[in-house]
Amino acid sequence: MGTAAGTPRARILETAGRLFYERGYHAVGIDTIVAESGVAKMTLYRHFPSKDALVVAYLERVNGQIEALFDAAVQGIDSPAEQLRAICAAVARLASTPQCLGCAFQMSALEFPGRDHPANQAALAHKRAVRGRLLALAQQARLRDPEQLADQLSLLIDGAWAAARVFGPHSPAASMPAAADLLIAAQQP
C-alpha cells in the first residue's frame, strides 16, 4: 500500500491520479485514496479541500505531463511541420502503450458533464491549449489553412486517445502518424 516516499501531498496526488486514471473519478472514493496512499483523511482534506479540488489538481498535473511530452517530442527539431509530425508520432506511440488508458480529460469531460464543473472546464481548457499549440506550429510552417489543420490533427489525436481506451494497445492509433503526415503534406504551399 503506502508508498513510503515523498511528501504526503505528493503521495496523495500520485495515488489518486493512478486510481482515477485506472478506474474513473466516480468509481474511486476518498477512503480508497486514503487507504492506498497511507495517509490520514484529515491530511488529504488539509491539502485538497474537496474531492473535486483533488480531481482538478490531478488534471493540472496531467496537463503538465502532456505539455512535457510535446516539449520532449519537438526537442531538437527546427521545422515547424516536422514538429507537428513529431507531436503526432509521440501521441501515437504513447497511445499504443499498454499503460495508456486514454485521455484523462476525455474522462473528466464525460464523468463531469456539467459545463460549469471545474473538471469539465479543465478538459475544455486543455483541449483548447493542445489545439492552440498545433495551430501555432501550423502558422509557423506557413501552411495554407492552419486552422483547418489544427482541427484535423486535433481530431486524430483525440481519436487516438479514444481508440487506445476502447481497443487497448493494438488500436487504430498506430495508423495515426501516416494520416498526420498526409494532412500536413497536403497543406504545404
What residues make contact with a copy of itself under the rule CB under 8 A? 22-24, 26-27, 101-103, 105-107, 109-111, 113, 115, 123-124, 127-128, 131, 147-148, 150-152, 154-163, 165-168, 172-176, 178-179, 182-183, 186
The binding track of 45-74 with respect to DNA, each residue x by CB under 7 A or -, is xxx-xxxx----------------------
What's the closest the beta carbon of residue 23 comes to a copy of itself, in angstroms? 6
The reply to whether 40 sits near DNA by the rule CB under 7 A is yes
Q: Which of residues 43 and 140 has its CB atom nearest to DNA in the complex?
A: 43
Answer positive or negative: Cα dihedral of 19, 172, 159, 153.
Answer: positive
The binder of 50, among a copy of itself, DNA, none, by C-beta within 5 to 8 A per type, is DNA
Q: Which of residues 31 and 145 has its CB atom nearest to DNA in the complex?
A: 31
- Choose the stretch contacting DNA; rule: CB under 7 A; options: 21-29, 85-93, 104-112, 149-157: 21-29
Q: Which residues bind DNA (CB under 7 A)?
A: 7-9, 26, 28-32, 38-43, 45-47, 49-52
